[in-house]
Amino acid sequence: MNDINIRVEGRAGRITLTRPRALNALSHDMCRAIDTALHLWREEEHVALVIIDAEGDKAFCAGGDIAELYETGMRGDYDYGQSFWRDEYRLNALLATYAKPVVSFMQGFTMGGGVGIGCHGKHRVVEESSRIAMPECGIGLVPDVGGSYLLAHAPGHLGVYLGTTAARMNAADAIYAGFADHFIPRAEWGDLIEMLQASGDVSHLRSHAHTPPMSALQSRQPEIDRLFAAPTLSEILDGLASDTGDFARNTHAEMQRNSGLAMACALEIIRYLQAESADMYRALRMEYRYTHRAMQQGDFLEGIRAAIIDKDRDPKWKFSGEPVPRAAIDRMLAPLGAEGLKFER
C-alpha cells in the first residue's frame, strides 16, 4: 500500500503515514493495516516498542479520509461509514491499551482521526509546528476516535471548550490538555528515532524532552471554566453572548459556525464520561452511537458538502439558530442494541 509504510527496524515496529499531499488523511485500508501490524507485533518478542510517524511537514494526520464517506453516504450506503468507524474505533482502543510502548511523533496538523492514532499511546511527542484539534462539530460529527475520552479528562471545563469550538492547540496547549507528553524540537527527531530503534528503550524520550512554552489555554483556564460550566449548550451560548469580553465574543462567533446538534451531543457525551468516570471503551461506544446515525439522522453529509465538496462554508444545519431539542439529543445517543460497537476482532 502506497499510503503507509509498515516494517520492523531494529527493536521497533515502524508505522509511517506516506500520503503527505493528502495531509496523511487516514483511510479505511490504512486503519486495517495498522490494526493487523499491532496484533502481529504484540506477539513478537523482538519488537520492544512501536513508533508511529508521518512524512511531510504540514501534518502528522489531518483526519479521516471523509471524501469517500460522503460519496457512499450520498448514495444511501451507510454501511461503509459504519464499518469504517467501527474498525477505526477498535484500532483506537487497541492503541490505548497496547501492552508495549507506543511512541507517536506529531508534526503540523493532528486532527480528528489523527488524534485517534497519535494521542492514545503512552508516549506522545509534539514540536514547534504541532497543531492538535478535534474539529468534528464543524462538519456535523461529535469528537470521536476516543477524543471524547481525552476531552473528558482535560482540566476543568477545558474539554467542553475544545470539543464544541474545534479550537486548535499548540504543543504547550496539547501537553497541558492531556493530548501529548513530550515537547522535542523537530531537529532532534531523527537521532531520537534511531536511538529508540536500536535500544527499544523509551527512556531516551525523557532525556530529549524540552520544557515547552507557557500554554495559552492554561492561562485562560479560569475564564474557560466560568464560561463553559453551564449544563446545556443553550446556556453556554447565552452566557457567551452576554459576556462583554473579547474571548467570549470570538468564541461565540466560532460556535455559531458549528452544528448545534453535534455540539449538544458532544457536551452530553463529555459530561456523561466525566460523571461516570468511564473508560476508553465506554467513550468509543458512546461516540459510535452518534456516528452510526450521523449520515441518516445528523448533519454530517451537509457538513462535508459545505466544507469539502462545494466549499461554500454555508452549511444548512438542522437546528440553526434555535435550541437543540432534548429529544433530538436522546435520539442520536440512544443505545444501538445488536448494532452497538463491539471490540472483538
Identify whether 53 is a catalytic site residue: no
Say if residues 173 and 220 touch (Cβ distance below 8 Å).
no
CA proximity to 259, closest of 299, 230, 219? 299
Catalytic residue (one of 53, 65, 88, 136): 136
CA proximity to 226, closest of 208, 206, 251, 207? 251
Give, as one character, the DSSP assignment of residue 188. G
Give the CA count within 13 Å in the CB-facing half-sphere of 120: 29
Distances (CA, A) of 313 to 14, 62, 136, 237: 38, 19, 15, 21
Give, as one character, the DSSP assignment of residue 120. S
Catalytic residue (one of 13, 113, 116, 121): 113
Rounded to an integer, what distance in angstroms lies between the CA atom of residue 132 and that of residue 154?
14
Identify whether 344 is a catalytic site residue: no
Cell triple for 280: 476508553
Give the CA count within 13 Å in the CB-facing half-sphere of 226: 10
Identify whether 65 is a catalytic site residue: no
Helix axes 78-96, 280-297, angle to 10 degrees: 160
Catalytic residue (one of 64, 73, 260, 298): 64
Catalytic residue (one of 65, 88, 127, 144): 144
Helix axes 326-333, 280-297, angle to 10 degrees: 110
Rounded to an integer, what distance in angstroms lies between the CA atom of residue 44 and that of residue 200?
13
Say if residues 319 and 311 touch (Cβ distance below 8 Å).
no
Rounded to an integer, what distance in angstroms lies between the CA atom of residue 199 and that of residue 29?
31
Identify whether 136 is a catalytic site residue: yes
Catalytic residues: 64, 113, 136, 144
